Structure 1
């Protein structure tokens, strides 16, 4: 299994366990503490989603057999993340219902609040919404940048593997060329030796022929 995937998986499991344990505690909180914990829960879920995306990218870069196993794991993690998001939505809805009950009970009756207080409340709400949108946009940009970085790293890894394979091929070709040179040198030496042997044999035959011819001429 990929060491990178295992690292992301370990981080996700720890984060998921913490978020799951936090949900029952949030249900018992009220007011600002509840809002703060809900915000922390949402941030944790965004981080968990980012880890799942990283695991998905890493799994898809592996061999088919490994990829199939890891993608099956990811489906379980995605289902777990969806359950946590539903829990967050439920807790947020409970907060809104409680606020509406307070308004109907007159504890936060806007009609009793001054115009200035209402204006300040609306302005603060608008600023919070704008800040929330900016944070969401920043997170979206960060995730896109992170995914691009992971993609570039994968491309570089593939290029490195290609270069290493090409280097191994060149080394093998160089070894074959060296062997071929040795074979050619050996063949050249044999041909040279055979040439001298043939020359010696031809010289011996010519000498014998001339000797035989001389003997015949001298007896005639």
Structure 2
């Protein structure tokens, strides 16, 4: 896996967790404090979006099998970022003005308990979302490790096949060399046999001539 991608991923996960905490705390604030907190969250969302773009560019430059896993993780991160954006919009839209806050204060203890329950529900939802994101990240890392192991195994098999092909190629070269040497030996034997035939023919011719001469002298006497 790309070390660059892992660095961006770590930054994003830490930033996402931090933004979730800020969203939860922003829901408990009001007035200028709430506006300031929302402004900080939006700035963090821009940074998170930039990290996702960097991860996307890095993933698309990797090998296809690793690229597919990383792009699947990016889809999860993009979904997580969209959820954060939606939560920020909801918090910003529920920012009450001073008159509404006064009405809530005058509503009594029942309304205060209802607001507290709503805040607790949002905190629980944020915590659950963080847990789900962490589980998805762990599952994605597990899939990535399995993919890396498969890639290493495939490379090992390819290396063994290459060694076998090289060995077979060397063997073929050895066979070709032996065949060439055998052809040379056969050619040399053939030439020697031809030379021996000529020598034997010459000897036979000489013997025939000698016998003819001997017979001629004997018959002439």
Where on the TM-score scale, by shorter chain, does this alignment land: which range?
0.3 to 0.5
Between structure 1 and structure 2, the one with the greater Rg is 2
Q: TM-score normalised to the size of structure 2?
A: 0.48
* RCO higher in structure (CA 8 A, sep ≥6): 2
